[in-house]
Structure 1
Amino acid sequence: MDMASNGQAAITRTERGLTIAGTRTNLYDVMDLLKAQYPPKLIRDKFNLDDAQINAALSYIESNHTQVEAEYQEVLQTREEIRQYWDDRNREHLADLASKPCKPDQEALWAKLEGQKAQRVSVKA
């Protein structure tokens, strides 16, 4: 692990993966922004890190690039699998809801909502 100037580990492995010590920010979140070409100062500010923390993260990523990139690819795969699971589950749930008739006391609300949707579509067109 990378060491901070005080001799403490700057990057630690937690149940969430490689994490910047003293934070809940993992290196995979930092890598997302690096790959989106965010500058280090913006990444630092986004995660409320100090200069030593962002420098330790960037240094660790650079010096352990192969290992970190492999783990990052696994994280991306897991994220995609989770997203796909919820997309499928929500699609089924929404289709089930759409197939049920409206409750009589909600029909006026649905009609109003559909009218607002139609107005937005006509304004965009």
Structure 2
Amino acid sequence: MESWAIWFIVGAFLFIAEMLTLTFYLLWLAIGAIAAGVIALVIPGSFTAQGITGAVIALLLTLFTKRLTRVFRKSKGFRDPIDDLIGKHGIIEEYVEEGKPGIVKVGGETWTAVSKQTLRKGEAVLVVDRGTTTLEVEKRGG
């Protein structure tokens, strides 16, 4: 099979995987793979040029969008909906130990939870802080 076809297949696979994860990181890798495929069409047989092109494109897109995202998040009027979870009550769904995450249900959603306390299934908790994908919780009232 031609190397350009392999790059395009890898790009398509990464694009599909991105649609399932919605992180944007796989999207940049997919665009890098497609760019490498284009280079493979122009310069056949130069796997080094193809790989370097794909890697540089993916790296530049990642770096550029990180900065752009940071600026967007600091702009006036931006509010992350996850921030609204702080102060809400939840119920422990899966045992939480200090240093080991568990599961908490807040509203109708389940989240990974961490705590400085040991929390058992069914205990009522309060969300005190948030990470990117985790909530820090403590026993309600304590």
Q: TM-score, normalised by structure 1?
A: 0.35
Larger RCO (CA within 8 A; separation ≥ 6): 1
User: Rg larger in 1 or in 2?
Assistant: 1
Q: TM-score, normalised by structure 2?
A: 0.32
Say which structure is richer in helix.
1
Say which structure is richer in strand.
2
